Structures are given as structure tokens and as C-alpha cells.
Copies of this chain bind each other. A is one copy, B any other.
Amino acid sequence: MVTPGPETIALWTRLMTSSRVLLERVEGALKAAGLPPLSWYDALLELEKAEEGGLRPFALQERLLLPQYGTSRLVDRLVGVGLVERRPCAEDGRGQELAITAEGRAMRARMWPVYAGELVATVEAALPAEEAKRAAEALDALIRAAR
């Protein structure tokens, strides 16, 4: 039977713990500031990067690594509070185009300083840039191996 080596176990447990602890910090800071969750930020950022044409739901889905229904429900909420618009799609009658609204841009801009502040206070306080870079490369190898 296969048994992972101690380095593998250590990396796995630290990966699970660090991602949860950091995520909690960021989400906690957003909530404390009366702002929406990180998932909203991610979606707004992708739509803002896409500019004029907007994005099709399936494209947003790929970028956010969400299931199809997850995207559908997330977009429902964003549309519900006026941060995103749904428009019929010209080229493909099955689909739509999603576009960020002015309110959406404003919300993302309000969220960023809070988000950025936590990243600086945790990641940059913990690791010099050179080490952060090496760790990022190792994680990148994990990502490629897992899909």
C-alpha cells in the first residue's frame, strides 16, 4: 500500500491550515468593514479585467474554478444588488454576457484596501519576497500535478 512520506504529510497539513487561516483573516476583515465576501471580489475583478465585452458565465466559471451552478447563483446575488448586469448574448442565443456596473467597480475599489492590508500584514510579515517567490513556484507545481 502506498504511504506518503513525512514531507508530503507536512506539506499537505500546512497547505490546508494556512489556506484556511489566511482566508479566515481576509474574510473576517471584510466582514468587520461591512463588506461582502471574497468570492464577490474575485468575480468583480474578473469582470472588470474583461472590460467592454464583459464575460460569458462559462468563462467566469473557468476563471473562478466554480461549478456551473455555483457561478449561476453567485451572479444571481451580484445582479440582485446591482453590482453586475446580465445581457443577452449576440453570437450565441443560449448564453449571456455579464458586465460589471459602476456600483460594482466602486464596491471592488472599496474592498481592495482591506484585502490588500491583510495580505501585507500576513504574507509580507511572514516571508521575504525571495522566499515567497520560491514557495509560490512549489505550489504552482502542485497545481499542475493535480489537474
Contact = CB atoms under 8 A, between A and B. Distances in A.
- The A interface is mostly helix, strand or loop, or mixed, namely helix
B116 A142 contact: no
Interface string A86-127: 000000000000000000000000000100110111111111
A143 to B, nearest CB: 5
Interface residues of A, number: 53
Contacts of A147: 21
B2 A132 contact: no
28 contacts: A1-B116, A3-B120, A4-B120, A4-B123, A4-B124, A7-B130, A8-B119, A8-B120, A8-B129, A11-B133, A11-B135, A11-B136, A12-B22, A14-B135, A14-B136, A14-B143, A15-B18, A18-B146, A21-B142, A22-B146, A25-B146, A122-B145, A126-B142, A126-B144, A127-B138, A134-B138, A135-B138, A138-B138
